[in-house]
Structure 1
Amino acid sequence: MAMINVEDQVRVHVQDLGSGPAVVFISGFGLDHQLWDRQVRVLTDAGFRTICITQRGHGHSDHPLHGYDIDRLTADVLGVLKTLGVESTAIAGHSFGGQVAFHTAALAPQLVSRLVLVGSNAVRASRSAEFPFGAPPEDTVPQMVKAEETDRIAARYRLIQDNFATEPDPRVVDWLMSTWMRMPSWSAIACYHTLLRTDLIAEIPLVRQPVLQINGTADRVHSARGSHWLQSKLSDSTIVELDCGHFPMLESPDEFDKTLAAFLTG
């Protein structure tokens, strides 16, 4: 475990374990390295180096008041990899982390060899004229911000619980909540704006690496049609759909690990 400086007075938490080909994991909104606990164990046993980057505002990383736009979050990732001396890596991003992973792959194709998107449309998380999937941000952002400002504990608990395909084990929800509650309200509100207003469609031609999209068939967060739309525009993309919700690494771990390992070694 390490705290790595990415900006003046801003550090992010990094877990760097194993040796061999590198795989970077970026967790979704409010989550940290613990989300990938099983994948770290499986992949390090298989001869990979696993690097889990907890984004600023999340987990044990610093929680500055500003700096949550997609360019800054991606610069954090690139700064960490430079500090660690990583010259080539696969990157896996879950949900909001998928946007950051996609932007990283587009900006640094010489660094990113493969891209894994888990429960993420990557280029957009809301509807636009060019991306007609999901809800419009004009409706969603104010609702999310109001819920965060009014009762963030209840709002976050409800979001986590609703993201599973079936009624989750209360202990799992409590565990995810314990991580999510490390994220202060100012970080959450800023990240809601970034998540729901970021548009990376123009970067699709820049992502020529092999891309794997792992989606849950009962995922209520991201659009399955949006994933197929993205696949049709990428040069090398595969979609695997698992019988689960927004957390395939927790809900369908065996299938998730098998799919991920096959892609990384393919």
Structure 2
Amino acid sequence: MTFTSYEFRRTDGAGRAVTLAGRAIGPENGRQIVMLASLGRPGSDFDEVAAMLAGAGYRVTLPEPRGIGGSEGPMEGLTLHDLAEDVAAVIETQTTAPVTLIGHAFGNRLARTTAADRPELVARVGLLACGGLIEMPEKARKALIGCFDESQSPDEHIECVRYGFFAKGNDPEVWRSGWYRQVMRMQSFAVRTTPVEDWWEAGGQPILVVQALEDAIALSANAHDLKKRLGERATLAELPNAGHAMLPEQPARIAEIIRNYIEAAE
């Protein structure tokens, strides 16, 4: 089973041209999942998990954000609502809605915004490495910023990746590349200019929270706080031996958690 590519054009709310590209894998009539990548990262971060889910009969779509892999459009002055319009367009044109919409790190904010803005397109939301009201420690914040600092030496860069994103003993080399500074800037601005209350509740949809137990950026306390606030609407799954990256560290377990959650819900 292989990935297939898609590309299409849309016009945004201001009448500007946007090109959206990405890939999908799995049978077209399978249960539909769309996965949104982390801050300044490509959809290929999900490849291992997506292939495992596709092998179990799921259809997994991996959109690229503007600035990566053929996706193009205005990148200045955007909000999460603008980026959610891109996601909604992918769901409408490339899938059979409603979908399970899964976001990793920054992608969890975008997934929740999309669900809030277009609830008819989203059956449930999965949050991997979700931040929240509890801020990351300063050292972790510096490591995150350092991952996008092109002035660093290769050794300095990989140390930022290791500290910020990987559990002790796991190999950060798999994420040495794939850091898109311009995309990070676009997405960070969108987060800052969108009120938290616009997306926090994810449109009232059921939520799966996958929390890595060694995450230095999205601390476990955030996941437990979200579970406490949302009660039965949220399902919490904890993931040992994983940090903020999570996907390259525990792909089989993540795929299993997602499958179990969706199949139990149906």
TM-score tier, shorter chain, comes to 0.7 to 0.9
Residue 245 (structure 2) aligns with: 247
Cα contact 1:89–1:111 (8 A) shared by 2: yes
Cα contact 2:102–2:128 (8 A) shared by 1: yes
The Cα shift of 1:195 comes to 4.0
> Is 1:215 aligned to residue 203 of structure 2?
no
Partner Cα separation in structure 1 for residue 260 and residue 148 of structure 2: 39
Cα contact 2:208–2:237 (8 A) shared by 1: yes
Equivalent position amino acid for 2:54 in 1: T
Cα contact 1:78–1:104 (8 A) shared by 2: yes
Write out per-residue CA displacement over residues 169-225 of structure 1, whole angstroms, 9 at most, x where no aligned residue.
354133xx1x22xx2x43322323334564423544563322110011110111221
Residue 49 (structure 1) aligns with: 59
Residue 10 (structure 1) aligns with: 18
Seq. identity, %? 23
Residue 262 (structure 1) aligns with: 260
Partner Cα separation in structure 1 for residue 187 and residue 226 of structure 2: 23
The Cα shift of 1:30 comes to 2.0
* Match 1:119 to one of 115, 129, 133: 129
3-state DSSP of counterpart to 1:56: coil
> Is 1:84 aligned to residue 85 of structure 2?
no
Cα contact 1:6–1:80 (8 A) shared by 2: no
Residue 127 (structure 1) aligns with: none
* Match 1:238 to one of 235, 239, 262: 235
* Match 2:190 to one of 190, 194, 213: 194
Partner Cα separation in structure 2 for residue 42 and residue 206 of structure 1: 26
3-state DSSP of counterpart to 1:251: coil
Cα contact 1:68–1:187 (8 A) shared by 2: no
The Cα shift of 1:260 comes to 1.1
Cα contact 2:40–2:183 (8 A) shared by 1: no
> Is 1:173 aligned to residue 175 of structure 2?
yes
Q: 1:263 to 1:220 in 2, by over 3 A?
A: same
Equivalent position amino acid for 2:262 in 1: L
Equivalent position amino acid for 1:83 in 2: T
Equivalent position amino acid for 1:249 in 2: L
3-state DSSP of counterpart to 2:119: coil
Q: Which runs of 5+ in 2 are unaligned?
A: none
Partner Cα separation in structure 2 for residue 54 and residue 168 of structure 1: 26
Q: Give TM-score, length-normalised by structure 1.
A: 0.80
Q: Which moves more between the two structures, 30-39 or 95-104? A: 30-39
Partner Cα separation in structure 2 for residue 65 and residue 50 of structure 1: 26
Q: Which runs of 5+ in 1 are unaligned?
A: 125-130
Q: 1:39 to 1:51 in 2, by over 3 A?
A: same
Equivalent position amino acid for 1:242 in 2: L
3-state DSSP of counterpart to 2:185: helix
RMSD: 2.9
3-state DSSP of counterpart to 2:211: strand
Residue 76 (structure 2) aligns with: 66
Equivalent position amino acid for 1:53 in 2: P
Write out per-residue CA displacement over residues 141-179 of structure 1, whole angstroms, 9 at most, x where no aligned residue.
9x94x99577277676444222101244354133xx1x2
3-state DSSP of counterpart to 2:7: strand
* Match 1:225 to one of 221, 228, 239: 221
Write out per-residue CA displacement over residues 107-159 of structure 1, whole angstroms, 9 at most, x where no aligned residue.
222211111000013xx4xxxxxx3x10599xx69x94x99577277676444
The Cα shift of 1:49 comes to 1.2
Q: Which moves more between the two structures, 218-227 or 200-209? A: 200-209
Residue 108 (structure 2) aligns with: 98
